[in-house]
Structure formats: structure tokens, C-alpha cells
Amino acid sequence: MGLKEACGIVGIASDTDVSYEIFTALRALQHRGQESAGISVFTESSGIVTLKGMGLVTEAFSEEDLSEIKGNTGIGHVRYSTAGESSIKNAQPIEMHIVSGMIALAHNGELVNAESLRNYYKEKGWAFFTTSDSEVIIRLLSKELHDGRDEVTAIKDVMRSINGSYALVILINGRLYAARDPMGIKPLALGRKGDTWMVASESVAFDALGLELVRDVQPGEIIELKNGSVVSHRTEVPEKSAHCFFEWVYFARSDSILDNVLVYDVRKRIGEFLAHEAPVDADIVVPVPDSGRAHAIGFSEASGIRYAEGLMKNRYVDRTFIMPDQKMREYNVSVKLNPIRSMIEGKRVVLVDDSIVRGTTMKKIVSMLKEAGASEVHVRIGCPPIVAPCYLGIDMKTRAQLIASDRSVDEIREHIGADSLAYISIEGLVKAIGKDRNELCMGCITGEYPVKIEGERLRGQSTLEEYLHF
Ligand code: SF4
């Protein structure tokens, strides 16, 4: 628990004003980023108008702001920074004036070649205003358009140059496009209600607006959304995709359907498999709320051990807040979670959570439960040990941050003070997701990545770069 997703995006084409719809969709995607939010709408009078603000969606925009931007096509973004510093200048969508008008772009993901592209173009005299990957993408796109490519060809050409994870929404004047990286690392879904078409990082955004989930945007697909229709364009893709498994384990909302699989079902199945893979004699199964809840329900059902909400979550402290020191970080856990002593006292507890990254939070929770009188605490984790960094948009940048990168399971157990510790196996995880192992990115748990990363091993398949014979 406690990891931050890179971003959430949305794009909508309708026959009525869309600013309230984008606002609502972004609120449904708020779990994907709480640092900043932005909306760009194409208006007949002023072209693309962009509003951005720091904080939650409801803090970033006022009712007055939304009523001022009127247009039938627009995009939106919620951000948590994994590439580029946290400030309003890195908030998205990014907007740019070009000869033929305006472009606005929002991006979820992380490029592995952003720096080399930035350096290459700096050498050619380009200046960059931000440190975000998204600026690299919009600059490349504006160059392609300037060179006379049509819009779809320009997007295709940009997709050939960039490497990494990305789901994009792009407004070029009043036209809306969405694109997903060739391995489908980041999620992107297509929804519809009547003549209104929408794309969003997760299907929960459609539920919030009464749209129907039509399908996922396919890896490498570009979609043009219009009021009343969509047009699909395909690009070259490698044989195997690489959906980020962590979306199902932790990032996405449990009620989202990603690449045809309901997140809640995966989490519950993981809990069931954990109960079979690592059974334990205990009195109650307690989830770490909210991240371990579905996993714990699965564990309880499969083991027959009673489910109990033994930890209460303070829902008002869930905001991103940079803790200046270790003591503050520890206080943060105790203000966020509090055990219910009467439920815990004298009990052998199975504590279930989605993942362990640094181990600090888990250590604190185990000690809380012991202080509340638990006679034993057995920790069960719904994700295999995270042994390697993520270079593709999740906030786990170095091995030093990861407790499992250089410690055995038993050493971690000792560190967190648990009586036993078990993680779901990679096989169990893959089975719970229900996809072929080669369709998933598992870089952070195997150390083998779907794209070429200097100093790291490549998953047993060709990179897109090799595939395209660059
Ligand atoms: S390395 Fe891990 S967190 Fe990053 S995209 Fe791959 S599976 Fe997801």
C-alpha cells in the first residue's frame, strides 16, 4: 500500500458542453493522482482553453471556472508526478500554439527515452519549459504537424519515436484523439452514451456519468472520437502486450474493468489463492483498509476464517503530503489507521494487504495490532516481493526504496515483526489475473522489463524498437 499512480486521463466528444463531464470523470479517477488537475476544452470563440490547479479536482476548479469554458470536446488529467517535479508548470494538459491552431495533450505513463529525446532536440536548439515527458511528446507532435503530416500520421510518427508506457488524449483544435502504447502497459478504455464518446484510464469514469463501457483501447491503437462516431487507426505492435499487473493488484479501483477483467474479482481470487498457498491457523482475517479489503475477503472465504474489519481508516488523511522526517511518517500511519481493540485482543490475526514496498507502513501496522492485544499476527500479501524498480510510471524508482530487493522473506518478516509472512506466488498472481504471463509487465517482481532499459534485463521478447527494425 501507499504507492502512487502516475496519472489519470479522460477525453470526451459530445453534442453538448463537456466541462462538467470531464470534472466528474476526473473525480472518479482521483485515486490516480492528487497533486494537480487540468481540463482543456475546445471553444468556438477562443480555441482551446485550459484550466489547471494544484490539489484535488474539487480544489483545482470552481463552479465558476467550469461554467466559463463551454465546448463540446475536451480532455482532462489528474496528476501524481513520477517524472518531473510537482508544480503547476508540470500540471497537465499541456497546451501549445502551432501554425494551424492549438494542441492540448494529457499523458499517463512514463517514457524511458524522454531524456535522450530531450537532449537530442536541445542540441538542435529546442528549449523546453518543463521537465515532464509530456512536453517531449507534444513538441514532437507539433513538429510532425508543422512538417505537413496529417494528424493521424503525425501521431503514428510520434509513437514510433517514443518508448515506454503511455495513454494519451490529444486535442488538435476541435478534434480529439486517444492513443495507447504498443504494449498496452497503461490502461485506456472507450465508453459511450448515445452520440457521446469518451475515453478514460478506467471504466469507473463511465459509470460516474452513466456511459457504457464499449471496450478497451487496444495496444498501439489510435482512436479519433467525434460526436456520434469513432474511427480506429492501428499502428505496429509487438507480438506480446505488457499490461501493468499492478493495476489489478493495487492502483485501479476495485470496481473498474481493465482489459476485460474486473479488478475486484482479481483481488478476491488472489486472496483465495493465498489462503491455499500459505494457509495458517488463525481466528480472524483483517484487511489493511482499503487496499487489502478484496484480497482479505477472498482469503477469508477460502480459508473459512472469519473476516473482521479490525482496522479503521481515517478517510480524511489520504492526501499526498510530503513527510519531512521518519517520525512524521510514523505518526501519519497512526493517524490514518487505528485498530479496534475489542476485535483484536487475544486473537490470532491474519493481516492481508496488497503489497509491501518499503515495509515501514507494514511494520507500524503489525506493531499496532500487537499493542492492541493480538496474540499472533500473520501477514499475507497479494503481490509477489517487489525486487526491482519501475521505470514505466509508478513511484518506485530505486532498489534502495524496496525492502525485498536485498532481503529474504524471512528477513522481511523479522523486520516487520510478524509471526509469519507469505506473498502470493507469481504463478498464483498470473492465474488470478487470468491472462497469459507474456501479456503482463512484471518488471518490478521479476527484474525483466518489456522495454529495453539500460542496465536491466529485457523480457523474453523483442522490443518494439527491434520489432520495427529501426
Ligand atoms: S514495472 Fe511493475 S509497476 Fe512498473 S509497469 Fe511494470 S508491472 Fe507495473
Q: Which atom of ligand 1 is nearest to the CA of 386?
A: 2
- Asked if residue 29 has pLDDT above 60, the reply is yes
Q: Is the distance from the beta carbon of residue 246 to the nearest atom of ligand 1 less than 6 Å?
A: yes
CB atoms within 10 A of CB 227: 17
Q: Is the distance from the beta carbon of residue 442 to the nearest atom of ligand 1 less than 6 Å?
A: yes
Q: Which atom of ligand 1 is nearest to the CA of 442?
A: 7
Rounded percentage of the chain residues whose pLDDT exceeds 90: 81
Helices (H) and strands (E) in the chain, counts: 17, 26
Q: Which residues pair with 166 in a beta bridge?
A: 109
Q: Is the distance from the beta carbon of residue 444 to the nearest atom of ligand 1 less than 6 Å?
A: yes
Residue of 468 and 39 predicted with greater confidence: 39
Rounded-to-integer distance, Cα 196 and Cα 22, Å: 12
Instruction: Give the residue numbers annotated as catalytic, written as ranges.
Output: 7
Q: What is the pLDDT of residue 306?
A: 98
Mean pLDDT in residue range 369-393: 97
Q: What is the pLDDT of residue 459?
A: 86
- Asked if residue 184 has pLDDT above 80, the reply is yes
Q: For residue 347, give the nearest of 434, 425, 282, 413 by alpha carbon.
A: 282
17 contact partners, CB below 8 Å, separation of at least 6:
70, 71, 72
Average pLDDT, rounded, for the chain: 92
455 contact partners, CB below 8 Å, separation of at least 6:
none
Q: pLDDT tens, 189-233?
A: 999 999 999 999 999 999 999 999 999 999 999 999 988 899 999
DSSP letters, 338-365, are: EE-HHHHTT-EEEEEES--SSSHHHHHH
| For ligand 1, atom 4: residue with the closest CA | 390
Q: What is the pLDDT of residue 335?
A: 82
Place of cell 479522460: 10
Q: How confident is the model at residue 470 (pLDDT cuts 50, 70, 90)?
A: very low
Does the predicted model carry a pTM greater than 0.75?
A: yes
- Asked if residue 433 has pLDDT above 60, the reply is yes
Q: For residue 128, give the nearest of 161, 94, 101 by alpha carbon.
A: 94
Q: How confident is the model at residue 327 (pLDDT cuts 50, 70, 90)?
A: low
Q: What is the pLDDT of residue 267?
A: 98
Mean pLDDT in residue range 72-92: 80
3 state SS of 18? coil
Place of cell 457504457: 212
Q: How confident is the model at residue 465 (pLDDT cuts 50, 70, 90)?
A: low
Q: Is the distance from the beta carbon of residue 245 to the nearest atom of ligand 1 less than 6 Å?
A: yes
Domains and CATH numbers, the chain: 7-237 (3.60.20.10), 261-432 (3.40.50.2020)
- Give me ligand 1 centre to Cα 425, in Å: 16
194 contact partners, CB below 8 Å, separation of at least 6:
none
